[in-house]
Amino acid sequence: MRKLQYTFKTDTLFKMLFTKHKDLLKKLVAALLGIKAESIRQLVIRNEEMPPEALGDKFCRLDINMVVNGQQIDLEIQVAYEGDYPERVMLYWAREFSTALPAGESYSTLPRTIIISILDFKLFDCKEYHSFFQPLEVTRHTLLSDKMGFHFYELKKLPKDVTEDNALLLWLSLFNAETEEDLDKIQKLEVPEMEQAINAYYTITASSEFRELERLREKARHDEAQALYHAKKEAKREANFEFAQKLLKRNRPIYEIVEDTGLTYEEIENLRKEIN
């Protein structure tokens, strides 16, 4: 199988493709929200730009933040579980919702705010690939407010077979595609928006603009991994020094401390002098 160098889950590709092709974004959002594309009368992307300098920031999120029919919608791809993901998206929601009230306006004017996450890992212990959360009373299940909503789409739970009449599964299968054969299989269904999306994929991944943005993004990932590696290495070294101090205070032989900590004779001898 010919593995794709970039997939629809690649955050730079995801952001570039759907900000450049707003007609495709409109159809994707409609499928994810379970509404008809024709019902979307307003779709405004609020963070369309991808400044190259921002791609080097490890905290940079390449989400798509939109206003859709007066609602605030944030769409994000997450390829790896980094812990506490539900809390993370709740924080995103709180930031969006809390900054949406103009000074002097009534709380009732706050917009419905929804976070949509497409996940390349299993998050919930269930068979369903789609989960939608809203605040409900725990016994009566009465809805507190429809202004908070969280959609989670877990790609690892998708069924293998997809038909041309299921728009949601077609879009999610596109994000799930890992090989050229996967894309060919979708394209053979002859669904116009899928063909358009796949053609846009090949055009963008061949462009010098995308390659440069992805180079900067990959450099940021590498730098972050290196920084994390060195931080862990330094933390382990500091722990070994602390352990060596305890062993010296117990009058353990230096050769044993070297074996137990991995420190050198010179380092332990210097440590002994500092203690004395």
pLDDT tens-digit map of 232-245 = 777 787 888 788 78
User: Is residue 165's pLDDT more than 70?
Assistant: yes
Averaged pLDDT, 98-114: 90
Query: What pTM does this model have?
Result: 0.80
Q: Name the strands in the sheet holding 64-68, side by side, starting at the edge strand that comes first in the sequence.
A: 43-45, 64-68, 71-78, 113-119, 148-154, 130-133
Dump pLDDT digits (tens) for 39-78. Answer: 999 999 999 887 766 666 656 678 999 999 999 999 999 9
Per the DSSP assignment, residues forming a β-bridge with 149 are: 114
Q: How confident is the model at residue 157 (pLDDT cuts 50, 70, 90)?
A: very high
Residues 67, 70, 71, 72, CA torsion sign: positive
Q: How confident is the model at residue 265 (pLDDT cuts 50, 70, 90)?
A: confident
Q: How confident is the model at residue 264 (pLDDT cuts 50, 70, 90)?
A: confident
Mean pLDDT of the chain: 89
CA 192 distance to own-chain centroid: 28
Dump pLDDT digits (tens) for 210-235. Answer: 998 888 877 766 666 566 666 777 77
CA 46 distance to own-chain centroid: 18
Print burial letters for 125-144: b (CB count within 10 Å at least 16), e (below 16).
eeeebbeeeeeeeeeeeeee
Dump pLDDT digits (tens) for 3-13. Answer: 999 999 999 99
Q: Indicate left, alpha or beta for 45 from its phi (over 0: left) and psi (-120 to 50: alpha).
A: beta
Give the whole-angstrom CA distance, residue 216 versus residue 223.
10
